[in-house]
Structure 1
Amino acid sequence: MPHADRFALTGRTVFLSGAAGHLGRAMAIALAEAGAHLILNGRTAETLDALAAELKAQGHSAEVAVFDVGDLGASRQFFAGLKRLDVMINNAVSGLGPQAPGADPAQAFRGTLESGLVAVHENVVAAMPAFDAAVTAAGEASIINVTSIYAHTSPDPKVYEGSGMMSPPQYGATKAGLVQLTRYLAVTLAPRGIRANSLSPGIFPWDRVAIDKPGFVASVSARSPMGRPGLAEEIGGPTVFLASKASSYVTGSDLRVDGGWTAI
């Protein structure tokens, strides 16, 4: 097979949670351009429908699945009805926004762990028949768990000073657990032809953040070895790599897309 063809995802079904988010949208575009049929998952039908319509208008294949991946009943029902799943990308996590006055911090911590770690494991288990069908048809299946640089290092308070955007402790704790879960899945699922890898993005500010919080972007740029934050489209190539046969001998690995942030 020519090397360029190994990146193709034609005929592959990809489930992407958090599909309408900043990085989720960039992943969806890259995967669609590689030929995948996308199942765009999230909690807001309007944004998912708009993304699906945009992709279809460009000749790509996409459908929408509106449910919260943290709702295990809804997730199990969905995956039980799925005939084949070549790639699962676990990109969604909740409980990271500002807490309401009087809110229980422990509940926020538990909520993030449940949606970003427990739900990932349970949904992988629920999708096993669909993964097995993909392995029978195509020879392999792939799980991509989207983690973070904060699975590997602590956020620097100086970078976030005055921005109101400091990463909460439950985020890094959940993502670190997800890296280890990925390793476990890689080892236990390899005999079934299923690969599992994690993708650890660095800081990729929304366009609005760049406008509203230039001081934060300047702090990120000063801290980054590459002198700038990430651009959303720069997550697409690594995602396609891990989803495709270009990474057929890669499992149990963590790919850091951070501009060298964690190399310091």
Structure 2
Amino acid sequence: MTNALFDLSNKTIIVTGATGHLGVAMCEGLASMGANIAVASRDLNKVNNLVQKLSEKYGGNHQGYQLDISDAESVKKAISEIIKTYKIVDVLINNANFYSMGEVEEYSDDEWVKGIDGTINAVHRCTKAVLPHMLENGQGNIINIGSMYGVVSPNPEVYGSSGQNNPANYGAGKAAIIQFTKYLACHYGTRGIRANSVSPGPFPNPKVQENDEFIKQLSRKTALGRIGQADELKGILVMLASDASSYITGQNICVDGGWTAW
């Protein structure tokens, strides 16, 4: 019974930003439960390498697609190819993002908009491309990747002089993603669509983890006293993609070691 609840066999799942630090872990977790992954990212070499890795390790029908979330035509083309290949898309995971660093008082309009474009606008582009297909089939599952900084502000004391401070346009865009998720859930739920967001906490990439002092600062802010490891996102993604979450929609789930609890 337990295995059946979390079984993803024969489900087609699109993962954008699939070759990034968190994206790879997501793909592996989903593939390990039987899902067929449409691996989507800008770098086709990395995409193909990940497809090969997933296929060799987990079996299944994994395919790679070049997708640039900043380009509406690229998104439409990739989604069209995915639907043509798999016939049906069960789950869309909007994971890819980009933003620009800067201070609020120093941003140019273009720099500010870049961060909004790389978060909420990108999620809208991908969702808009897939949603009609899901509505036509009367079922679909959208999982948007938000952030703890879509819920709370970065604490300047944590970042100090590390140079790692999180920019305002990133958090603003991630907060918008969380609201957009709720909108999708409420407006399309009766038509077979579920939508939830996952908000990761401190999951710094390997390069950032080289800064020992900064990692200590991040760790002190969590209730668990440590940063997150990419593999710790596998469970929540499998749960939300599977029938184990069939009555969960419109929710934002923080996977943050307790960061937002205080």
Report the TM-score, using the length of structure 2 for normalisation: 0.92
Paired AA for residue 113 in structure 1: I
* Aligned partners of 1:89 and 1:144 also within 8 Å: yes
Q: 1 CA distance for matches of 2:71 and 2:156? A: 33
Match of 1:132 among 125, 130, 135: 135
Q: 1 CA distance for matches of 2:164 and 2:45? A: 26
Counterpart position of 1:156: 155
Alpha-carbon distance, 1:132 to partner: 3.5
Alpha-carbon distance, 1:133 to partner: 5.4
Paired AA for residue 114 in structure 2: G
Alpha-carbon distance, 1:123 to partner: 2.4
Match of 2:98 among 83, 94, 97: 94
Counterpart position of 2:188: 189
Q: 1:157-172 counterparts in 2 under 5 A?
A: 157-172=156-171
1:92 aligned counterpart, secondary structure: coil
Alpha-carbon distance, 1:79 to partner: 2.5
Paired AA for residue 71 in structure 1: D
Counterpart position of 1:66: 66
Residue 76 (1) aligns with residue 85 (2):
no
**Greater CA drift, 66-75 or 145-154:** 66-75
* Aligned partners of 1:55 and 1:61 also within 8 Å: no
Counterpart position of 1:253: 251
Counterpart position of 2:172: 173
Q: 2 CA distance for matches of 1:146 and 1:164? A: 24
Unaligned runs of 5+ in 2: none
**Deviation sequence 1:133-162 (CA, Å, 0-9, x none):** 554xxxx42100000000110001111112
Counterpart position of 2:242: 244
Alpha-carbon distance, 1:206 to partner: 1.8
Q: 1 CA distance for matches of 2:29 and 2:200? A: 16
Q: 1:103-142 counterparts in 2 under 5 A?
A: 105-132=108-135, 135=138, 140-142=139-141
Report the TM-score, using the length of structure 1 for normalisation: 0.91
Q: 1 CA distance for matches of 2:115 and 2:149? A: 14
**Greater CA drift, 12-21 or 73-82:** 73-82
1:195 aligned counterpart, secondary structure: strand
Q: 1:16-35 counterparts in 2 under 5 A?
A: 16-35=15-34
1:61 aligned counterpart, secondary structure: coil
Residue 56 (1) aligns with residue 59 (2):
no
CA change 1:133–1:245 in 2 (3 A) is farther
Counterpart position of 1:145: 144
1:127 aligned counterpart, secondary structure: helix
Q: 2 CA distance for matches of 1:160 and 1:199? A: 23
* Aligned partners of 1:56 and 1:62 also within 8 Å: yes
**Greater CA drift, 125-134 or 82-91:** 125-134
Q: 1 CA distance for matches of 2:44 and 2:175? A: 30
* Aligned partners of 1:149 and 1:201 also within 8 Å: yes
Residue 263 (1) aligns with residue 254 (2):
no
* Aligned partners of 2:6 and 2:33 also within 8 Å: yes
Q: 1 CA distance for matches of 2:77 and 2:47? A: 20
Q: 2 CA distance for matches of 1:224 and 1:128? A: 36
Q: 1:199-238 counterparts in 2 under 5 A?
A: 199-210=198-209, 212-238=210-236
Could you tell me the percent identity over the aligned residues? 37
Give the root-mean-square deviation of aligned CA atoms: 1.7
* Aligned partners of 1:33 and 1:60 also within 8 Å: no
Number of residue pairs aligned between Structure 1 and Structure 2: 254
* Aligned partners of 1:84 and 1:133 also within 8 Å: no
Alpha-carbon distance, 1:65 to partner: 0.8
* Aligned partners of 2:146 and 2:199 also within 8 Å: yes
Unaligned runs of 5+ in 1: none
Runs of 4+ in 1 over 6 A off after TM superposition: none
